[in-house]
Amino acid sequence: MGQLDRDARVYVAGHRGLVGSAVVRHLEHEGFTNVLTATRDQVDLRDQSEVSHWFKANRPDYVFLVAGTVGGILANSSRPAEFIYDNLMIHGTVVHAAKETGVDKLLYLGSSCIYPRDADQPMTEEALLTGPLEPTNEWYAVAKIAGIKLCQAYRRQYGCDFISAMPTNLYGPGDNFDLESSHVLPALMRKFHEAKRTGDPVEVWGTGAAYREFLHVDDLASACLYLMEHYDGDGHINVGTGVDLSIRDLAETIRDIVHPDAEIVWDASKPDGTPRKLLDTSKLTALGWSPSIELRDGIESTYQWFLDHVEGGLRGASSVAAV
Ligand code: GFB
């Protein structure tokens, strides 16, 4: 443990995603000179022989395992096979190759959906495997739970220093704004933005009664490096803000920022999903890390990023692929 050598070879698996791109930005900002990445064309992370070959050729010292097939409530419930298969395979291949090549330390990233649907709030790390999962994302959750157990098993049997972090719902620059597959925050940002042009009401899914906690991805990236440098335990660690709000309040906040005159209509035929999933972050706080980006500030800066990087490409299109 302790500060990582800034010249160490650090592999970020999933560097094109919301989390991976934030981790790369943060590592570069912190002075890392040897950040390794590989595109999907270079290495299919679901293929053990490709992954093992890449690890043997590139010999990373540290690994941030933040790759995965991810998406919002609709994508999770309509593409269960992809969500369970891709994630199980990616976790398995990367963890195994890291052990084979003697990686010094690996951080695996899970999700707050690993906890039971009816877990006591806020949810402590000990709530894992104490009850049934939320059905809209159980496939993804099972793969993420398997990832935690994989790291623990490799620690137990082979002595690998592999740790796990469980983030709450994330948002920020580099998010996916596709309305079919995205999470709620980027989806609503895009819907309110488009309503400025069309003048149509904005359709928000569910009843608005569900509560969610949102963490800016730059805060998550900072927490990931912090855990790499300050934590080497067997148990997973929650990463969140400790504050949540209803989807109704979230929709009104985004409306204020993007298009204050918009009318909201609720589509109760869409699921609310889990009623609440607020993380208890006292373990991480006790380790000495806390987030710094307020939700409203984070939404404003993410909207600016959307205007600068995504908006132009969307004009006239009804649906776009993940950014
Ligand atoms: O962000 P979201 O898709 O994921 O949905 P989950 C959160 C809440 O926002 C739900 C509502 O109650 C949705 O019904 N919502 C309202 C919307 N309008 C929209 C919209 O336009 N798009 C979307 N996507 N939601 C995911 C899990 O759950 O969270 C994953 O499926 C993962 O496994 C991820 O854990 C962090 O928070 O419900």
Q: What is the CA radius of gyration of the chain?
A: 19
CB neighbour list of residue 200: distance below 8 Å, 6 or more residues apart:
none
- The answer to whether residue 140 is catalytic is yes
Q: Report pLDDT for 320.
A: 33
Out of 183, 193, 274, give the residue to mutate to test ligand 1, the one with the largest number of ligand atoms within 8 Å of its CB. 183
Task: Quote the DSSP letter at residue 171.
Answer: E
In this predicted structure, what is the pLDDT of residue 315?
59
Among 20, 217, 235, 12, smallest CA distance to 106 is for 12
**41 found inside a domain:** yes
Q: Which residues contact 246 (CB under 8 A, 6 or more apart)?
A: 208, 209, 210, 211
**Residue whose CA lies nearest to ligand 1 atom number 12:** 272
188 in a structural domain: no
pLDDT the model gives residue 254:
98
Q: Closest Cα to atom 10, ligand 1: which residue?
A: 272
Cα gap 192→187, rounded to integer Å: 9
Residue type, position 73, single letter: I
Tokens matching residue 169:
């719902």
Which residues of the chain fall short of a pLDDT of 70? Answer: 314-323
Q: What is the pLDDT of residues 173-215, one digit of tens each?
A: 999 999 999 999 999 999 999 999 999 999 999 999 999 999 9
Asked, for residue 227, whether it belongs to a domain, the answer is: yes
Residues with CB under 6 A from ligand 1: 72-74, 76, 111, 113, 136-137, 140, 169, 182-184, 187-188, 204-206, 210, 212, 247, 270-273
In a domain, 56, yes or no: yes
116 cis-preceded (ω within 30 degrees of 0) = no
Q: Report the pLDDT value the prediction gives residue 87, as an integer from 0 to 100.
A: 98
How many angstroms separate the CA atoms of 173 and 70, rounded? 16
Let me know if residue 286 belongs to a domain: no
Q: Is residue 158 part of a domain?
A: yes
251: part of which helix (H) or strand (E)?
helix 247-258
The residue range of the domain holding 140 is 10-171+213-239
pLDDT digits 0-9 by tens, 97-136: 999 999 999 999 999 999 999 999 999 999 999 999 999 9
CATH number where 219 lies: 3.40.50.720
Residue at 111 is within a domain: yes
Does 112 reside within a domain? yes
Instruction: Report how far Cα 242 is from the mean position of its chain's Cα atoms.
Output: 16
Q: How many domains does the chain have?
A: 1
